[in-house]
């Protein structure tokens, strides 16, 4: 798989990244460690060499699973992890990074990201200058190679960038969830900041596997996703039907088509999770689906049939 530069750093990432929120198990159902390990390994073997995780995914469990899957090829993969909103004081950032290094069984993290802005989830308000001071220190020490932010607005991103180089933004972004295009994306494009889109398949909605009457199991956080509710869900189903002929013409499935559209957007790469090896292998194929300008435009318009009816709240869930 081709690689791309992460921001202005010397790190090379794959346009499809392996997402490992589900490997942490918390807020997911039916996840088994052995299947997660096989999925991560399969992603690597099909060319996806960039792996995204976070300390809060299962309180370090996801990071530990990543290490079990890839420690023997650590020098050939890129690890991206995150510090959570409740650990943004200077000392807390340093300690959180050390915990993640231990969990990942490595002495450096390629990309270390602020997971949510200070104050999120009723966390303590910490000046971004203090958090960035710690991240810059970690970078100077070689414990991290690049700094990123996640779930930041354009204003928050610009403020953080005033205290050090930011090489990536990780927002929710998919064909069915596109608020970032009107907020932070233009700033990222102008300043060569890589966009690492999460929920790039709208938490599975863009796979087309959920029928009109689908009900999520107890404990599955997707039940609170706005896209799976009411008229939003009906519009999504209608849009999927319009996408099927385009996918068929490329001999790919809906998920691969959606990922191919996403990584064709400026500065944009797609984080895609997988419960098993087959899903990881399917995700990798998206990097080889080449869409024409006319097809990209057609897909864009189909997606807007869903996104034009959403509010401007960037948070995808009714938590």
User: What gap in Å lies between CA 103 and CA 65, rounded to an integer?
Assistant: 9
Q: Output the six-digit token pair for 237.
A: 């189903």
Strands 168-170 and 144-150: parallel
- The answer, yes or no, to whether residue 4 has pLDDT greater than 90, is yes
User: What gap in Å lies between CA 197 and CA 308, rounded to an integer?
Assistant: 19
- The answer, yes or no, to whether residue 15 has pLDDT greater than 70, is yes
Question: Rounded mean pLDDT of the chain?
Answer: 95
Question: Which uninterrupted H or E stretch holds 13?
Answer: strand 12-13
Confidence class for position 87, pLDDT limits 50, 70, 90: very high
Predicted pLDDT of residue 319: 67
Predicted pLDDT of residue 212: 74
Closest CA to 98 of 63, 62, 49, 68: 63
Superfamily classification of domain 4-206+253-291: NADP-dependent oxidoreductase domain (3.20.20.100)
Q: What is the pTM of this model?
A: 0.95
Is 225 in contact with 203 (CB distance < 8 Å)? yes
3-state secondary structure of 23: helix
Residue range 21-47, pLDDT digits in tens: 998 988 787 889 999 999 999 999 999
Is 112 in contact with 83 (CB distance < 8 Å)? yes
Q: Where along the chain do its domains lie?
A: 4-206+253-291
Predicted pLDDT of residue 318: 80
Taking residues 184-211, report their average pLDDT.
Answer: 95
Tell me if residue 57 is catalytic: yes
Q: Which of 57, 79, 173, 198 is catalytic?
A: 57
């Amino acid at each position: 798989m081709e690689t791309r530069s992460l921001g202005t750093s010397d790190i090379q990432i794959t346009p499809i990244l392996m997402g490992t929120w589900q490997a942490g198990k918390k807020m997911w159902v039916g996840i088994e460690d052995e299947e997660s390990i096989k999925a991560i390994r399969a992603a690597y073997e099909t060319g996806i060499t960039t792996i995204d995780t976070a300390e809060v995914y299962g309180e370090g469990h996801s990071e530990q699973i990543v290490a079990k899957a890839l420690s023997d090829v650590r020098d050939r993969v890129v690890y991206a992890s995150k510090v959570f909103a409740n650990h943004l004081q200077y000392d807390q950032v340093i300690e959180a990074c050390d915990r993640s290094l231990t969990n990942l069984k490595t002495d450096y993290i390629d990309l270390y990201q602020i997971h949510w802005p200070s104050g999120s989830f009723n966390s303590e308000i910490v000046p971004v200058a203090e958090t960035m001071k710690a991240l810059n220190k970690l970078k100077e020490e070689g414990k991290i190679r690049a700094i990123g932010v996640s779930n930041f607005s354009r204003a928050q991103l610009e403020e953080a960038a005033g205290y050090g180089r930011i090489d990536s933004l990780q927002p929710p972004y998919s064909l069915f969830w596109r608020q970032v295009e009107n907020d932070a994306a233009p700033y990222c494009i102008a300043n060569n900041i890589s966009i690492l889109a999460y929920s790039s398949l709208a938490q599975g909605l863009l796979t087309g596997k959920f029928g009109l009457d689908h009900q999520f199991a107890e404990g599955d956080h997707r039940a609170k996703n706005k896209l799976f509710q009411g008229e939003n869900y009906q519009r999504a189903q209608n849009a999927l039907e319009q996408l099927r002929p385009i996918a068929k013409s490329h001999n790919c499935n809906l998920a691969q088509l959606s990922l191919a559209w996403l990584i064709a957007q400026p500065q944009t790469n797609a984080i895609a999770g997988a419960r098993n090896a087959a899903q990881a292998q399917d995700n990798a194929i998206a990097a080889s689906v080449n869409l024409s300008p006319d097809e990209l435009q057609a897909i864009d318009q189909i997606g807007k049939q869903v996104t034009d009816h959403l509010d401007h709240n960037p948070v995808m869930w009714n938590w």
